[in-house]
A and B are shown apart, each in its own frame.
Chain A
Amino acid sequence: NAGVTQTPKFQVLKTGQSMTLQCAQDMNHEYMSWYRQDPGMGLRLIHYSVGAGITDQGEVPNGYNVSRSTTEDFPLRLLSAAPSQTSVYFCASSRTAEYEAFFGQGTRLTVV
């Protein structure tokens, strides 16, 4: 009964470093997405995918890359970390775009 699994839970990066946040779901959901949560801002969409091999940009895509080679996995790559990317990142999945989303536990990222 794993649902949506994100790793790591916490990460500290230095400015300019790159890293990949992992997201996996075991519900055979077609739709997956990444959000960032910042104080007083709610959640904002970074990138999303409607199925394997298909990705698109959300509201705040700059500085992030995604790929979707399998239905289960949707990693988020930070190309060159900046302090402005300090945030809590949530991965979500849903059966299709028309259904409610299930969220992972989040990754708290600090860029120093």
Chain B
Amino acid sequence: GNSVTQMEGPVTLSEEAFLTINCTYTATGYPSLFWYVQYPGEGLQLLLKATKADDKGSNKGFEATYRKETTSFHLEKGSVQVSDSAVYFCALLRRYGGSQGNLIFGKGTKLSVKP
């Protein structure tokens, strides 16, 4: 079946540190991949996406590359800020066949950035 595995948190970093949050997936076919971010007390917001192999999604200094050979979509940022403190969710979307349109989420990784 389809599943998403992301690194467990919490992750605590100092401001300006490098961030990597690992995400791997299992899926049949060619899913789209997403990173969503949830700030405290808010809903989920789309951070970035990639729809095919080797696509790189980027937004607000965050990047992730769709790696079909390693079934991965790791999130990276070169220099985190306190305002990046949030919970990050990796997700896949099947575009065809059964369960089309249903997002499959990882369990989330809580990031805390200290000044």
A contact set with B: CB distance below 8 Å: 4, 31, 33, 35, 40-45, 48, 50, 58, 90, 92, 94, 96-98, 100-106
Contact = CB atoms under 8 A, between A and B. Distances in A.
28 contacts: A4-B43, A31-B101, A35-B103, A42-B4, A42-B89, A42-B107, A42-B108, A43-B89, A43-B103, A44-B105, A48-B101, A48-B102, A90-B43, A92-B44, A92-B103, A97-B95, A98-B101, A100-B32, A100-B46, A100-B49, A100-B93, A101-B103, A102-B46, A103-B36, A103-B45, A104-B43, A106-B42, A106-B43
B101 A105 contact: no
Contact of A58 (B36, B49, B102): B102
A40 to B, nearest CB: 6
Interface string B70-106: 0000000000000000000100010100001111011
Contacts, number: 58
Contacts of B43: 4, 90, 103-106
**Closest A-B pairs by Cβ, 5 of them:** A97-B101, A42-B105, A103-B43, A42-B107, A103-B44
A35 B36 CA distance: 14
Interface of B: 4, 32, 34, 36, 42-46, 49, 89, 93, 95, 100-103, 105-108
A42 B95 CA distance: 21
Contacts of A103: 36, 43-45
Main secondary structure of the interface of B (DSSP, over half): strand
Contacts of A104: 43
A94 B95 CA distance: 13
A97 B105 CA distance: 16
B76 to A, nearest CB: 20
A63 B4 CA distance: 26
A68 B55 CA distance: 35
Contacts of B103: 33, 35, 43, 45, 92, 101
